[in-house]
Amino acid sequence: MSLTAIPYNRVQTIGNILFATRGGKIHSFNLSDHKHISTWQHPDVEKQSIAGDSQTRLESETKTPTNAENAHETEQSEPPAKRQKVAEGDLNISVGDATATKEEIVQKKVKGGKGKGKSDNHGDKSRMGRVVDRPLITLLTCTDDGKHLIAVSGHDKSVWVFEHDGEGQIIQLSQRVMPKRPSAITTGPGSQIIVADKFGDVFSLPLIMTPLSPSSLALRAAPTPKPSLTEPAANTFTVHSKRNLEALEHQRKQLEFERAKEEEAKPEGPIFESHLLLGHVSMLTSLIVTETQGRKYILTADRDEHIRVSRYIPQAHIIEGFCLGHKEFISEMTIPLRKEDILVSGGGDDELFIWDWKAGRVLSKTNLLALAREIAPQTTRIAVSGLTSLVYPEEGGVTYVLATCEDIPAIFTWQLTLDNELKNPGIIQLPCNPLHVAIASASNETALKLVVAMDPGQNVQAKSLHAYTLTRTEHRLSSDVEIPIHGQRSDGPEMQVSESEIRNMFYAIENLRKQGGGGEDAGTDAVAEGNGEVEASPAEG
C-alpha cells in the first residue's frame, strides 16, 4: 500500500505570521520570506511515534519466515506464541501492548469500552472527518488582537490556548477537554471562547483558564443521594438452607458491585469554568459571533438546514429568529467585511444564499454548482468547504466573497454589489484540492495574498502550502503569481498515511448529506425549547 504525507489542513494569519496545522503540529512561517519559524506539537505525537516504532518492530517479527527460519523453528520443541499484528492506524495500543499476544490485545480492546459498533447520533465523524487514532488539529483561530492562538485537537476533544509573542513563537497556556467533540469555534467579546459541538450545544469558556474553586469541585463531585449501602442483616450463622445461602451470596456480590461503582465514579462535566449558552437538535457546523447596532449576536448553523440567530451572553437563551430556506445541510457561513447586516451561507445546495440575517430574509442566491462545473464538468452536486471575504483593494475597495468546495481544485470569487448580489464571478484554479484558505496582508506590502492549505494526494513533488498574490481585472479577482512556502518538512514516519486515511480525515463534508435527500421539517427546532431557549417577541427585539 502506498503512503502519502498528511497535508496541512488549517491556516491562520496574524499580521505577517502564518500558522498552519499538520497532523498534531502547529507550524509558524514568516509571510515576508516564507521561511519556517517554529513548531508546537501535541503531546500525543511523541507517543504515536513510539507506537509507530513498536508497530514496525512487531511487523518485522511477524513477517513471513524464510526457509532457514522455518528449518530453525522445526528444531524447537514448541513454536513461539504468535504476535498480533497492529492494524494500520490503530495507535491506541500502548507501547507495552506492542508485544502482547492476540488474546491479550482482544481482551484489552473489549475492556476498553470504545467498541467499533458504538456511534453517536450522526456517526463517528468530526468537523474535519472521521475520528482517527492519531493527533490531529481540526480547528484553528485567533483573538482579534492576535495575542492568542486557539486550536482544537479532534482526537481528544481538547481546546488549546497559546500566547503569541507577535513574532511566530507561541507558548501553551491551557488544555481543556470538552464533553463532546468541537465542530466549530470562534472568539467573542469579553475574552470568551465560543465552542459549538457535534451534539448541537454551544459553550463559552474564558480565554484564560480559571480552575474551579475547591467548593465548586466538591459540589460537582458530590454523588446523587442514594440509599446507603448496608450489609445484609442475615449472615451464615442465621441462614442455613442452600437456597437462602445462595440468595445471601448474591446480595453480598451486588453490594460489592455497587461500592465499586461509587469508588470509580468521577465528577460529571469539565473541571474548568464553562457555560452552556444554547443548543440545537442537530450537529452544529458553523458559528459566528457578530455585532450590529450596538447589540451582539451568535449565529449558528446545523446539519438540519437551520440558521439560528441568538443574542450574545448573557442572553444567549433568547432566540431572535431563524434564516430558513436551505434544502440541504449548511456547512459554512460568513459575514462579509463591511457588510455587517449581510450573511452568506452554503452547504449541500446548488446555490449560495445571501441573507438579511436579522430579518431572516433571503436577499439573493447565486448558482455555485454551475461555476464548479467549469472546473469539474462531471460534478452533479457540491459540498461547500469554506467561505470567507476580503476587501480589495484594502483602502476604499469593494467586498468580495470567496468559496471552496470539497474535491474541486479551485477558489471561486464574487463581488458583493450594493444590491447585495454576488456578481462578476471569478475562478482561481489550484493544482490540488483546497482544504482551507486564509487571507494575508503584510503591513509592509500592498498586495493581498491568499494562503491555501491543499491536499497534494499522490503527487510527491507538490507542496501542501501555497500563497497566491491577488490581482483584479474588470472587477474579477484572479491570481497569476504562486509563491512557495519554504520549510515544509515531512516531519517523520508518523505523518505517513494511506490515501484512504486522508479521505477519512479531510473529506467528510459530503457525508453531512442525508441519504434520503432534502431537509427535515423546519419546525424541528421548536424542540430546542426543551433546552431552556425562548424565542424573543417583537417587543424584545
pLDDT tens string 142-196 = 999 999 999 999 999 999 999 999 999 999 999 999 999 999 999 999 899 999 9
Q: What cell numbers appear for 423 in the block?
A: 456578481
Contact 409, 429 (CB under 8 A): yes
Q: Please say if the pLDDT value at position 74 is more than 70.
A: no
Split at pLDDT 50, 70, 90, the class of 238 is: confident
Give the residue from 430, 407, 438, 410 showing the smallest Cα distance to 140. 438
Q: Which residue has the higher pLDDT, 333 or 63?
A: 333
In a domain, 347, yes or no: yes
Residue 69 lies in a domain: no
Residue 482 lies in a domain: yes
Q: Which three cell numbers stand for residue 264?
A: 470509580
Lowest average pLDDT, out of 93-102, 211-220, 240-249, 314-323, goes to 93-102
How many distinct structural domains can be found in the chain?
1
One-letter amino acid for residue 77 of the chain: S
For residue 253, tell me if it sits in a domain.
no
Asked if residue 485 belongs to a domain, the reply is: yes
Paired strand residues for 203:
195, 276
- Which residues form the domain of 7? 3-50+130-217+273-512
What percentage of the chain has pLDDT greater than the value 90? 51
Q: What is the pLDDT of residue 216?
A: 55
CATH code at 449? 2.130.10.10
Judge whether 78 lies within some domain: no
Q: Are 470 and 449 in contact (CB under 8 A)?
A: yes
CA–CA–CA angle 387, 298, 25 (5° rounding): 55
pTM attached to this predicted model: 0.75
User: In sequence order, which ranges of 363-435 are alpha helices (DSSP H)?
Assistant: 368-372
Report whether pLDDT(105) > 50.
no
In a domain, 247, yes or no: no
**Per-residue pLDDT, 22:** 93
> Does residue 390 lie within any of the structural domains?
yes
pLDDT at 435 over 50: yes
